Structure 1
Amino acid sequence: MSPVPRSTPFWMRAWFVTTSLIVLWDAAYCLLRPHSMEGGKYFVFFSPYKLYGTVDKLYGPEAIEDNNGFTGAQAFMNLIEISLGLLFVRMVGNKNYTQGQANLVGFSASILTLAKTILYWLMEVFSAMEHTKHNDWMTWIFLWVIPNGIWLVVPSIISLNLGRDLFQRLEHGKTE
């Protein structure tokens, strides 16, 4: 078995930092609705959501009118996800934490992202595509599947990498 890695790849740290900014913006849009929507006092910061709200009705005015709480609930979960991801980045390379401790936090953050995203996709599937079926195929693929699919692919890769590392650390009895 290969030795336990002692560092975190740059791409992984970059993912957590970059997506934390994107997901924070998304959470802010969701939690500030209707003020973040067109006509709202914060719309200037969230104008791309005017288009996305037509692609995914969970982000549009229909969800507000229907009192659909899923978008707000997942936005709240986003805040936990962001906190864990940024904590991971802070822990990596900090002498007060072992690599194993950091990797456990990073693994937890990526599993949370993955589980939340799978729930988001499954909710759409089990609701007969209630929020996206109105789109043509090109719009659905390029503005819903691909952007949301990234949050399935990359966290899966991170979870597998950090999970493998955690297993190796447990097998070798290493905590650093």
Structure 2
Amino acid sequence: MVTTRSARKATASPSPVASFSSTTSFKTPSRASRGSSKALWTHSPSRATLAWLALSLPLVIWDTGYVLLRPLTMEGGSLHWPLYTPYKLYGEVDHVYGWKAFEARNGFTAAQGALNAVETLMYLAYLWLYAFRSASVAVKGGGPPVKALSGRPAAMAVLIAFSAAVMTLSKTVLYWLNEYFSGFDNIGHNSTQDLVLLWIIPNGAWLIFPTYMIYAMGGEIVAGLTAASTGVPAKSE
């Protein structure tokens, strides 16, 4: 009996589509049970990611406003009180934010603020996708459904957040290296205690949490690409 190419094609098994989340579990959208046996690639942000964005985004928006609206937001400016009064102290701790850099027409501060605005828009786009394009997803193996993105919106959200986190980490590293290679010109006048409490600890958070996001979402991207190229679901590391 001769088997035609079209017959062999018709009997071929479809390649599986993997499903991944930030918690590295496999999930199947509830609507998949309406006639489709394929599981979609899904993503839901971890609690740590949501907590970090809830804390950092208002602070970054505040910081960006101060930087891009200088000198109005600086001491003596019409917008300084009451919103930007803490920057009087911070401008004395870090001269990049104070009158020294502004009067020297140092462009680093404003350039950093402009990138802050881009990053913020990317993080907001990620949160918008999760808030308005997600759906209830059943967890494989039981458990209560979770809110998750699936398919293309999930891929777009992870790519946007991953790219924004890389920008945040890179910019923060550049900020620290700028001090190192300038002989700590803007922060070297501080006591050790002030430097640790008012500069290292606050700015260190923007190294730790973006690194976590890069690790978690980068693992999801690698796992998704692995599954797409091999047809074998692979958990993100």
TM-score by length of 2: 0.70
The amino acid across from 1:23 in the alignment is: V
Residue number among 24, 38, 49 corresponding to 1:12 in the alignment: 49
Aligned residues: percent identity?
Answer: 38
Match of 2:126 in 1: 88
The amino acid across from 1:36 in the alignment is: T
Residue number among 110, 116, 119 corresponding to 1:72 in the alignment: 110
Q: CA RMSD in A?
A: 1.7
Match of 1:149 in 2: 204
Cα displacement (A) at 1:100:
2.0
The amino acid across from 1:118 in the alignment is: V
CA contact (8 A) 1:17 1:85 kept: no
CA contact (8 A) 1:118 1:152 kept: yes
TM-score by length of 1: 0.93
1-side partners of 2:216 and 2:205: how far apart?
17
Structure 1 outlier segments of 4+, above 4 Å? none
Residue number among 13, 25, 36 corresponding to 2:73 in the alignment: 36
2-side partners of 1:10 and 1:120: how far apart?
28
Match of 1:53 in 2: 91
2-side partners of 1:102 and 1:11: how far apart?
16
Match of 1:118 in 2: 173
Cα displacement (A) at 1:84:
0.4
1-side partners of 2:76 and 2:156: how far apart?
45
Query: What whole-Å deviation, never above 9, does each CA across 1:122-157 have from its counterpart, x for those lacking one?
Result: 111110101000000000011000000000000000
Cα displacement (A) at 1:17:
3.6
Query: What whole-Å deviation, never above 9, does each CA across 1:23-73 have from its counterpart, x for those lacking one?
Result: 011011011111101110001110000100010000011011111111011
1-side partners of 2:154 and 2:211: how far apart?
20
Q: Say which is worse superposed, 7-16 or 92-101, in terms of deviation.
A: 92-101
1-side partners of 2:185 and 2:118: how far apart?
27
SS in 2 for 1:173: helix
Stretches of structure 1 lacking an aligned partner (at least 5 in a row): none
Cα displacement (A) at 1:21:
1.2
Query: What whole-Å deviation, never above 9, does each CA across 1:88-119 have from its counterpart, x for those lacking one?
Result: 11112515853222111110111110011011
Residue number among 208, 221, 224 corresponding to 1:166 in the alignment: 221
Match of 2:145 in 1: none
Stretches of structure 2 lacking an aligned partner (at least 5 in a row): 1-17, 22-41, 135-148, 230-237
CA contact (8 A) 1:17 1:89 kept: no
More strand by share: 2
Match of 2:15 in 1: none
Aligned length: 173
SS in 2 for 1:78: helix
CA contact (8 A) 1:17 1:86 kept: no
2-side partners of 1:139 and 1:84: how far apart?
33
1-side partners of 2:51 and 2:125: how far apart?
13
The amino acid across from 1:52 in the alignment is: Y
More helix by share: 1
Cα displacement (A) at 1:3:
5.9
**1:27 maps onto 2:64 in alignment:** yes
